Amino acid sequence: MLRITIWNEYRHEKIHPDVQAVYPDGIHAVIAEALCKDESLSVRVATLDEPEHGLTDEVLEQTDVLMWWGHMAHDEVQDAVVNRVHQRVLGGMGLVVLHSGHFSKVFKKLMGTSCDLHWREAGELERIWTVNPAHPIAQGLPPFFEIPEVEMYGEYFDVPEPDSLVFISWFEGGEVFRSGLCYHRGQGKIFYFRPGHETYPIYYHAHVQHVLRNAVHWCAPTSNPALHFGHVPQFTHQKGDA
Ligand code: ZN
């Protein structure tokens, strides 16, 4: 079983009636239900207001892939927890960063750039194009799919050049956005996926759910041992050796 932890800030859903109407039990609950359709995944959730934000050493040790949704309270995430997640990613834990998670402390730390972008909340149509059909995250998806009402994110998106680009979004207002990005950091794999604003029912969308399931599999850790660095003796080679 691949062990997934879905982390949600879980604040909008508690205080904004328009968000409660879409996600009465929290965004994490809908994503958990989507991932549980894949019987090879074991899914738990964690939220900001739990002790250590629900991301203790023990939880992270038992997590193969962490999924991250945050928006209004990025600054409240303790640096100690950010550093712990960062170290786990470098050590091989996968990380799927969703939508406004582009501004999370941990994503910015892993990217090393501002991770800023343009945005507009106007209920526009988004058409998501698969631009890397051979990529495992595109497995089973059509050439494009549409989400009828979204918040627009526009380029330039200030992130490093990705190792793979899987999706590009077009919006009816005219902008485009690199909406599915793959990175490697240390032994860990990171996937950023754009869709998911809190006032629209985007995580109920069948193709969005399909991408999330594919993404956690792609981000799964390899079973390689921990890396070691530093001084090593010269390889010995004697004459006569094969
Ligand atoms: Zn948003």
Q: How, if at all, do strands 65-69 and 94-98 pair?
A: parallel
The alpha carbon of 64 and the centre of ligand 1 are apart by a number of angstroms equal to 26
Ion ligand 1 — residues with CB < 5 Å: 100, 151, 197
The alpha carbon of 99 and the centre of ligand 1 are apart by a number of angstroms equal to 6
The alpha carbon of 57 and the centre of ligand 1 are apart by a number of angstroms equal to 29
End-to-end CA distance of the chain: 43
Sketch the domain layout of the chain as residue ranges.
2-112+179-218
- Amino acid letter, residue 226: A
Predicted model pTM: 0.96
CB atoms within 10 A of CB 58: 9
The alpha carbon of 138 and the centre of ligand 1 are apart by a number of angstroms equal to 23
The alpha carbon of 56 and the centre of ligand 1 are apart by a number of angstroms equal to 27
- Amino acid letter, residue 168: I
28 or 241, which is more confident?
A: 28
* pLDDT, tens digit, 9 for 90 and up, residues 8-52: 999 999 999 999 999 999 999 999 999 999 999 999 999 999 999
The alpha carbon of 151 and the centre of ligand 1 are apart by a number of angstroms equal to 6
The alpha carbon of 75 and the centre of ligand 1 are apart by a number of angstroms equal to 16
* pLDDT, tens digit, 9 for 90 and up, residues 140-170: 999 999 999 999 999 999 999 999 999 999 9
Please tell me the CATH superfamily of domain 2-112+179-218, with its number: Class I glutamine amidotransferase (GATase) domain (3.40.50.880)
